[in-house]
Chain A
Amino acid sequence: MISSPLSDWGIYIHIPFCRSRCTYCDFNTVTGMGEDDYARYVEALLLQWDRISKMPSGHVVSIFFGGGTPSLLEPEYFKQILGAVKDKLRISLEGVEVTMEANPGTIDEKRLREYRRAGVNRLSLGVQAWQDHHLRRINRTHTVLDARQGVEAARLAGFDNINLDLIYGLPQQTLAEWEESLTGVLGLEVDHLSLYQLQIEEGTPLAGQLQRGRLRVPEDDVSADMAELGRKRLIQAGFIPYEISNYCRPHKHSRHNRLYWTLNPYLALGAGAHGYWNARRWWSIRGVKQYVDNLQNGGDGIAGEERLDRLEEMREYIWLGLREEGGFSRRRFQDRFSVSPEGSFGVTLGKLGRQGLVERRSDYILLSRRGREMANYVFREFVTAS
């Protein structure tokens, strides 16, 4: 398994704007804003970047524009932001993974070319399903055709690293429809695929619809079948499963996500964005207006932070590391914490081993096949009850 050096780090940049809100979404997003708001927001992002005084010492390997819908912002803004990053760090973006999330309904070849020129080299499209009635039901603003045309346009615009997101377990979704979605996205021959099970979050319109009995999500057994089918079909098509929900063509794994799983540092820009470095986690102010005001008034945009003690870091290292198909390296763990994983968690790891959930392969500790299905069960062993 490829390991990123301990000193690699990344930057997460949150763009909270959306045209409309998907019914399942509970992320930090806002609708109904216009160009003026975008301009002020980018200004605030740049101020926040300016005011970061200390940087990790290693190499920036990834910059990730997440949302929201980053593709609502003009390419010019990306140029400004990436330019500011380059200037302050005195680096070129050569070899840096620069990802942008996009909604298939918001892009065309011309626009994509400009993003590419601004420095974006990886595109992540939220396709979600291959049936327009599903897309409508969850209030996505694009169609299946948009998704197909979006991928085509991205190729023409020069993107050679494209990810598509798909969701299974949608309300009223059948196994056959899921299979159709898989076939659909595989036909687009992209480089990376993420398969997520729909999470029902409290307070979302979808949670209300389910509660009132207007919609139903598939039974547990059906969504388990969907997960199995997804993995099988993607592997057959030549994708490498490298993380619990992520699949890639050779050498096309997402560097950014892997920083999270290996507890490497990442800085955070933008409303509600989360950063991590030196056992400290922090997050920016969630409200867009409050975030902008704070920075315009000389603030740093930070809303809160937590410090992880060594034990908590070790725990996170394990349960985040286990998300990777190959697991985590015992040697790396030992280098970082000066103790072996078994030295600290021997009893738990032993139990999980006996239950057939984790395995050891030379230097690596990883989830077994059953462990992957029951990943949450395994992870819970490494957190303390709240």
Chain B
Amino acid sequence: MNQAEIRNFSIIAHIDHGKSTLADRLIERTGTLSAREMAPQVLDSMELERERGITIKAQAVRLDYEHEGKVYELNLIDTPGHVDFTYEVSRALEACEGALLVVDAAQGVEAQTLANLYLALEHDLTVIPVINKIDLPNANPEKVQEELMDIGLDGTEAILVSAKLGIGIEETLAQVVSRIPPPKGQVEAVLRALIFDSRFDSYKGVLVYIRVVDGSLRVGDQILFMATGASFEVTEIGVFRPHPTAVSTLSTGEVGFFAASIKTVQDTHVGDTVTLASRPAQEPLPGYRPAQSMVFSGLYPVDSSDYGRLREALERLRLNDASLSFEPETSAALGFGFRAGFLGLLHLDVVQERLEREYNLSLITTAPNVVYQVRLVNGEEIRVDNPALMPPAGEIQEIQEPMVNASIITPSEYIGAVMELAQERRGIYKDLSYIDKQRALLNYLLPLGEIMFDFFDQLKSRTRGYASFDYQWSGNMPADLVRLDILINGEVVDAFSMIVHRDKAYHRGRSLVEKLRELIPRQLFEVPLQAAIGGRVIARETVKAMRKDVLAKCYGGDITRKRKLLEKQKEGKKRMKSVGSVEIPQEAFMAILRVSDK
């Protein structure tokens, strides 16, 4: 393909602004799929993606589009929209020259719209604003145009679209060709291709999604991954239409995939550069960094005999998810399990749900925590990804916690409420600006650990659902943090340990033991519950001993029934975890998530 006739672009949008529907229409209009083959959200193949209306894996689909007598090759790269996948998104955008920024005609600019726009501008993309859902009764395209002006885009040039009704689709395609520049890159140079995603195929091994920046790739080439140094022979090259379709070559500027009998996605790092083993490039493409887990959680099977199945399931998920990390962990309370690292909360949520749904596992998940950077008195620096492993206070010089830059867009009347929430969560105020007469944009520096629990829910409830929220990682900051332990019957239960700010420790400890007193059933013996910092107990409650547990009459000698009742009770007990001699129901381990500071 002539480089001048290639256009690589992506669609970026706030959630539910209609990104997937627009993609569906583009695929349909270009005849890439027949009407019969179309399904809503055709690019999101995972059940979970369709159900939640989110994109987890990137996709690249090739569309042939005839415009003014020439056939153009349009590569639409669909990216995950969530902050957890910011790095993945940045690599996908790096593979493009332009982006369609979709904004809902009724909702207007939202927090994620902004975050995506900034990301696109960072990558020097040509941004074409698209105002979608103009068919809605409460659509207000003119107001959205003004909002676009306010964020530095030419709102008058926005395309008015109803993806649902198929309005403005032709114009969108035409503008992709006319406004987005063709890819640059040296046809004659040595191969350099950017990996922007990969997925595991049980027949072909890993499919590596690439954008060829310089040179070209052919079947039979011996390739080299520049970051890992691994080398493979290319067995197949293809493009997605959106079904995988074999081609013989991918040349400069083109987007597609290759297979090379690669067994795991761990060998293919997003952001890495592919070159030829025989004639390697001098310099890799810029911007590579290994995936880094931001959020950690312990995953334990409810039934300890499921440990093996959990390991297998995690291994299978990792085949397709290079950013999922896990290692075996033992908890005195929960037995054998894994400490798993995730890119963020959505990632954790998705993995957890897939384990339960696709692998039919019943899990106890410990409260997620962030990674703390700890400097010890002896000068040593350690990373702590499990609160239970935080060293004693006396050995610690300083603890640093990860921070995020949060942008919150809210109707003006809720500014006070949002500021109050941010302050409760130890937010550091950055600035406040107005998007238009009704809406304001607030920026806060917030500890990641403080937005992990119910921040988003709180934000929504305090702004009657109107506020939107997005954030970017923003390094570490020191904080006065302590480890809060929960002791049951005098023993520290590791799965309950958490790192909290000193000022909040008392309240958190008190409300947690109160909650646990409700959740832990009365036992044979009285059970003291304590919250402690270091060796100091800050709150105490008691679960009284059970006084009586007796079965009544055996009517008509029906012993079987009585035995079944006992068996059922015993089964119920089995689902509890024993700590020492105390039986703790599963819900108790999740309670920690629902306890607020107030």
A residues at B contact (CB < 8 Å): 12, 14, 27-28, 66, 194, 196-199, 220-221, 223-224, 227, 244-245, 257, 260, 266, 268, 272-276, 281, 283, 306, 316, 319-320, 355, 357, 372-377, 379-380, 383-386
B464 CB within 8 Å of chain A: no
List, in ascending order, chain B residues with CB within 8 A of A244's CB. 550-551
Instruction: Evaluate contact between A66 and B556: CB separation under 8 angstroms.
Output: yes
B548–A223 touching, CB < 8 Å: yes
Closest to B555 in A: A27
A375 touches B551 (CB 8 A): yes
Contact call A275/B566, Cβ cutoff below 8 A = no
B residues in contact with A319, CB < 8 Å: 566
CA–CA, A374 and B558, complex, Å: 21
Task: For B522, list chain A residues within 8 Å (CB).
Answer: 220
User: Residue-by-residue, is B542-566 near A (CB-CB < 8 Å gives 1, otherwise 0)?
Assistant: 0000111111111111111001101
B557–A199 CB distance below 8 A: no
Report the minimal beta-carbon distance from A385 to chain B, rounded to whole angstroms. Answer: 4
Q: How many angstroms between the C-alpha atoms of A257 and B524 in the bound complex?
A: 28
Chain B residues within 8 Å of A383, by CB: 563, 566-567, 570
A306 closest partner in B (C-beta): B560
A245, B552: Cβ atoms under 8 Å? yes
CB-based contact A260/B557 at 8 Å: yes
* Known contacts A355-B524, A380-B566, A384-B567; A260/B554 CB under 8 A: yes
Asked if B164 is an interface residue, CB under 8 A from chain A, the answer is: no
CA distance A28 to B574 in the complex (A): 31
- List, in ascending order, chain B residues with CB within 8 A of A223's CB: 548
Chain B residues within 8 Å of A266, by CB: 557
Interface string of B68-91 (1 = CB under 8 A from A): 000000000000000000000000
Instruction: In the A-B complex, list the 3 residue pairs whose CB atoms are closest, starting with the nearest.
Output: A224-B547, A386-B567, A376-B549
A312 nearest in chain B by CB position: B563
Cross-chain contact B550 with A386 (CB below 8 angstroms): no
Mark B residues whose CB is within 8 Å of A.
Answer: 522, 524, 546-560, 563-564, 566-571, 573-574
Q: Which residues of B contact A275 (CB under 8 A)?
A: 557
A194–B522 Cα gap in the complex (Å)?
Answer: 27
Could you show 21 A-B contacts with beta carbons less than 8 Å apart?
A197-B550, A224-B547, A244-B551, A245-B550, A245-B553, A257-B554, A260-B559, A266-B557, A273-B557, A274-B560, A276-B557, A281-B559, A306-B560, A355-B524, A373-B547, A374-B548, A375-B551, A376-B551, A383-B563, A383-B567, A384-B567
Residues from chain A with a CB closer than 8 A to the CB of B553 are: 194, 196, 245
Contact partner, B548, options A66, A224, A355, Cβ 8 Å: A224
Q: Complex formed: what's the CA distance from A186 to B557 in Å?
A: 27
Determine the chain A residues whose CB is within 8 A of the CB of B524 once the complex forms: 355, 357, 374, 377
Known A384-B570, A385-B567; judge A12-B549 contact (CB<8 A): no
Given contacts A220-B547, A227-B548, A373-B549, contact A385 B556 (CB under 8 A): no
Residue of B549, B557, B568 contacting most chain A CB atoms (<10 Å): B557
Nearest CB to that of A382 among chain B residues? B566
Query: Which chain A residues border B550 with CB–CB below 8 Å?
Result: 197, 227, 244-245, 372-376
Cα–Cα, bound, A223→B566 (Å): 20
Residues of A within 8 A of B557 (CB): 12, 260, 266, 268, 273-276
Q: Is the CB of B549 within 8 A of A386?
A: no
Question: In the bound complex, how far is the Cα of B568 from the Cα of A223, in angstroms?
Answer: 23
Determine how close the nearest CB of chain A comes to the CB of B548; give it in whole angstroms: 4
Chain B minimum-CB-distance residue to A226:
B548
Nearest neighbor of B544 in chain A, beta-carbon distance: A221
With A194-B553, A385-B571 already in contact, the answer to whether A274 and B558 are too (CB < 8 A) is yes
A377 touches B567 (CB 8 A): no
The chain A residue with its CB closest to the CB of B554 is A260
Q: Tell me how far the C-beta of B472 lies from the nearest C-beta in chain A, rounded to whole angstroms.
A: 49
Contacts of B558 in A (CB 8 A): 274, 283
Task: Please indicate which of the listed interface residues B553, B568, B574 has the most CB atoms of chain A within 10 Å of its own CB.
Answer: B553
Query: B556, A14: Cβ atoms under 8 Å?
Result: yes
Inter-chain contacts of B569 with A (CB < 8 A)? 376, 380
Which residues of chain B are within 8 angstroms of A376 by Cβ–Cβ distance? Answer: 549-551, 566, 569
* Nearest chain B CB to A337 CB, angstrom units: 17
Contact of A379 among B546, B564, B566 (CB under 8 A): B566
Q: Which residue in chain B gives the minimum CB-CB distance to A281?
A: B560
Q: Is the CB of A316 within 8 A of B547?
A: no
What is the minimal beta-carbon distance from A203 to any residue of chain B, in angstroms?
Answer: 14
Q: Which residue of A lies closest to B573 (CB)?
A: A380
Give the residue name and chain of the A residue nearest to B574 (CB).
A385
Point out the residues of chain A lying under 8 angstroms from B570, CB to CB. Answer: 380, 383-386
Chain A residue contacts of B556, Cβ below 8 A: 12, 14, 27-28, 66, 268, 272-274
Shortest distance between the CB of B256 and any CB in chain A (Å):
54
Task: Determine whether the beta carbon of B559 is less than 8 Å from that of A374.
Answer: no
Q: In the bound complex, how far is the Cα of B549 from the Cα of A244, in angstroms?
A: 11
Which of A194, A266, A268, A379 has the most C-beta atoms of chain B within 10 angstroms of its own C-beta?
A379
**Across-interface contacts of A372 in B (CB, < 8 A):** 550
* Min distance, Cβ A290 to any Cβ of chain B, angstroms: 18
A383 to chain B, nearest CB (A): 5
Cβ contacts under 8 Å, A274 to chain B = 556-560
Residues of B within 8 A of A245 (CB): 550, 552-553
Q: How far is the CA of A316 from the CA of B563 in the complex (A)?
A: 8
Known contacts A197-B550, A376-B549: A386-B559 contact under CB 8 Å: no
Contacts of B566 in A (CB 8 A): 319, 376, 379-380, 383
Which among B548, B549, B560, B564 has the greatest number of chain A C-beta atoms within 10 A?
B548
Q: Which residues of A contact B554 (CB under 8 A)?
A: 257, 260
A49 CB → nearest B CB, Å: 16
Contact A379 B548 (CB under 8 A): no
Report the minimum CB–CB distance from B525 to chain A (whole Å): 8
Contact with A66, one of B555, B559, B568 (Cβ below 8 angstroms): B555
Cα–Cα distance between A120 and B553 once the two chains are bound (Å): 22
Report how far A268 CA is from B556 CA in the complex, Å.
9
When chains A and B are docked, how far (Å) is the Cα of A245 from the Cα of B548? 13
Please, how many angstroms separate the alpha-carbon atoms of A66 and B563 in the complex? 20
Question: Smallest Cβ distance from A281 to chain B, in angstroms?
Answer: 6
Q: Which residue of B lies closest to A28 (CB)?
A: B556
Set of chain B residues within 8 Å of A380, measured between Cβ atoms = 566, 569-570, 573
Closest to B547 in A: A224
B213 nearest CB across to chain A (Å): 60
In the bound complex, CA of A266 to CA of B522 (Å) = 38
Give the residues in chain A near B571, CB-CB below 8 Å.
385-386
Q: Whose C-beta in chain B lies nearest to the C-beta of A381?
A: B570
Pick from B549, B564, B567: contact of A374, CB under 8 Å: B549
Kindly state the separation between the CA atoms of A160 and B563 in the bound complex, as whole angstroms. Answer: 34
Q: Bound state CA distance, A374 and B563, in angstroms?
A: 16
Q: How far is the CB of A115 from chain B (nearest CB, A)?
A: 19
**A66, A221, A357, A376 interface centre (most CB from chain B within 10 Å):** A376
Q: In this complex, what residue of B is CB-closest to A319?
A: B566
* A156-B568 Cα distance, complex, nearest whole Å: 46
CA A274 to CA B559, docked complex, whole Å: 8
- In the assembled complex, the CB of A24 is this many whole angstroms from the nearest CB of chain B, namely 11
What residue in chain B is nearest A356 (Cβ atoms)? Answer: B524
- A197 / chain B contacts, CB cutoff of 8 Å: 550, 552
**B549: chain A residues within 8 A (beta carbon):** 373-377
Among A220, A268, A375, A386, find the residue whose CB has the most chain B CB atoms closer than 10 A. Answer: A386
Q: A197-B550, A319-B566, A380-B570 are in contact. List 9 more A-B contacts (CB 8 A).
A: A12-B556, A194-B553, A245-B550, A273-B556, A306-B560, A316-B563, A375-B549, A376-B551, A383-B566
Q: Which of B549, B564, B567 has the most CB of A within 10 A?
A: B549
Across the interface, name the chain B residue whose C-beta is closest to A260. Answer: B557
Q: Are A316 and B559 in contact (CB under 8 A)?
A: yes
A386 to B565, CA, bound (A): 9
A221 interface neighbour in B547, B555, B564, Cβ under 8 Å: B547
Contacts of A357 in B (CB 8 A): 524
Report the nearest B residue to A320, measured CB to CB: B559
Residue of A nearest to B561 (CB): A274
How far is B548's CA from A281's CA once the two chains are assembled, in angstroms? 30
Question: A373–B569 Cα gap in the complex (Å)?
Answer: 17
Q: How far is the CB of B2 from chain A (nearest CB, A)?
A: 70
